[in-house]
Amino acid sequence: MKQSNGLKQSAAAVGLWVGAQSALALPPTTPLPDAAHTIYLAGGAAQDPALDKLIADNLAASGTLDIYYDNGNPNGSKYRAYFFTTNTSKVPGLSSASVNVLIYKRSNGGAGYGVIPLIQDPPPTVKQLDFTPANSWTFDATNNRYVVSGTQTGQYADAGITGVNPSILTGGNYPQPSGTGVGDVFSTTETVPSEVSARLAVTPAGGLTYGLAVTKDFYKVLQAAQIYSGTLPSTTPLGSYNQAARIPTLTRQFAASLIAGKIKSWDSVVVFNSAGVGKTLPEIASANGITLPTQVGSGSSAVSPVSMGNRNKGAAVGAAFSAKLLNYPTLASAFPPASQPTLLNPLALPYVTQAPGASQQEQVLLDWQNGTNVSGLNPPAVSGGTPPKRWGVAEQSTDWNPSYAKDYRYVRIDSYAPTLANIHIGGYPLWAEQTLQWRKTYTGATATFTGLIPTGDKLLILKKLAAVLGSPSAAAQVNAQLGSVIGATGLFGVSTDSSVKTLSAAFDPNNPIIPYTHVNGALNDWLLPVVNGGKLGTVKLP
């Protein structure tokens, strides 16, 4: 697509255009696609790495895709956009043989923005990226994408993405707005389960693996502790992640206790060797030359604080962890996840944060490991001081840091590593079906709500995106690029998909389909998953 003269002049004026035009196919252009081919998505950030790949491979015609990230830290953590050409071979039934498409994606605030702004009537607007000519933008040659400085308000979300069924975002999981400005605010009083059923067309879109991530130093501590106890082989190199048998394991109950904020310091966690001699985790660390975290207190009362990274209310990641490990908020008496206080106290025991996105959660882990505060969620105890180093644990999805190049790792749960093969046999518990949803007609809808129901090419593109998100073969393509050294992880197909006719006991990473399901009439991630008996061919005994 040719760039307009006006935008060329704007780019040249700030010296940003050099080298960019030859690198990508559809730079910011005027005019942009019409409303029928401009789609505003909002919702979970966990799927963002996969979304980049899935759009490139399955929606965009070859050589036409440009990807835009916001200029936050890290880039693309809150807003993204995808500008490309698609055609009838990619999306059958389009009104033209070839059309330009612009998809905006808001991740800031998590899955809640993929639900509440869609069921609320009258609908609120949702802030998105803005790369109109008035904005400054640069080309990131290293990552082959554009970085954009501005956001736009006044846009309605066309569809939402959630890493759990949207009805789960109720009670203690009810989403909270990420800000108070225009484009961030939505109602805090919607009746989620009933309104989701009445007002949204919810389309299953495969499944996603979640993982309990720990900072790199704490990972080594857990390894050393379980070598001491005999849980891990004595030959395990500290820091190694290339074999599942070398990965430390936590029980569901211990992980749940951390999420609920019931363990305050690592000094209260003791491991015993075969002779019955107990050592605290800091003692284990000191014996193995592992750096201790910044202490809270002084002298003999100093302790190593537990740091727990839960997710913000309305995040699919947090809702999945709460459902799987705490039965929250299904049971009235269930323990809730610990909450971040309004004012962060670096000396708190435990120290709890609730990052507003998967990218920000990753940065929290890196801040804790390295004693930095890029995320803003690891402030120093004294103004102007050094941010603390922490032994931290955090809720995350396993398509983040899949090659383990960054300074955090995932642990096993009940001895099962976070792999698709372990989900397939019913062992690893932290997973959920994801969905893509958009508005549908309901009695009493306002004219604004009804006017936002997708039709025509927009609906076709959304349906194709849902199909791609749920496709086992597309999932396999994405997973192959994740580079997991312990086995395939990330996305998978679900047994309730109409294309799945029978289930097999043999797991195939090239066609990852999970035989277990949370669907009992309707999708509900609160349920204990069971084998889909309606399609059972064979099932593997764990």
465 Rama class: left (phi>0) / alpha (psi -120 to 50) / beta: alpha
CA distance 178 to 111: 11
pTM assigned to the model: 0.89
Burial 214-240 (b: 16+ CB within 10 A, else e): bbbbbbbbbbbbbbbbeebeeebebeb
Flag whether pLDDT at 19 surpasses 90.
no
Tens of pLDDT along 419-441? 999 999 999 999 999 999 999 99
* pLDDT, position 441: 97
Flag whether pLDDT at 81 surpasses 90.
yes
Residues whose CB is less than 8 angstroms from the CB of residue 506 and which lie 6 or more positions away in sequence, other chains included: 538, 540
* pLDDT, position 11: 30
Average pLDDT over residues 243-248: 95
Average pLDDT over residues 503-520: 95
> Does 429 sit behind a cis peptide bond, omega within 30 degrees of 0 on the bond before it?
no
Instruction: Round to the nearest angstrom and report the end-to-end CA distance of the chain.
Output: 53
CA distance 102 to 94: 15
Domains contained in the chain, CATH given: 37-207+430-517 (no CATH), 210-423 (3.40.190)
CA distance 87 to 63: 13
* pLDDT, position 333: 94
Hey, which residues does 151 pair with through a beta bridge?
A: 129
Residues whose CB is less than 8 angstroms from the CB of residue 181 and which lie 6 or more positions away in sequence, other chains included: 127, 153
Rg for the chain (alpha carbons), in Å?
A: 24
Strand ranges inside 391-512, DSSP E = 392-397, 408-410, 412-413, 431-439, 491-494
* 3-class SS of residue 416: strand
* pLDDT, position 499: 85
Average pLDDT over residues 291-313: 96
> Does 122 sit behind a cis peptide bond, omega within 30 degrees of 0 on the bond before it?
yes
CB 413 within 8 A of CB 430: yes
DSSP for 178-222 reads S-SSTTT---S---HHHHHHHHEEEEEEEEEEEEEEEEHHHHHHH
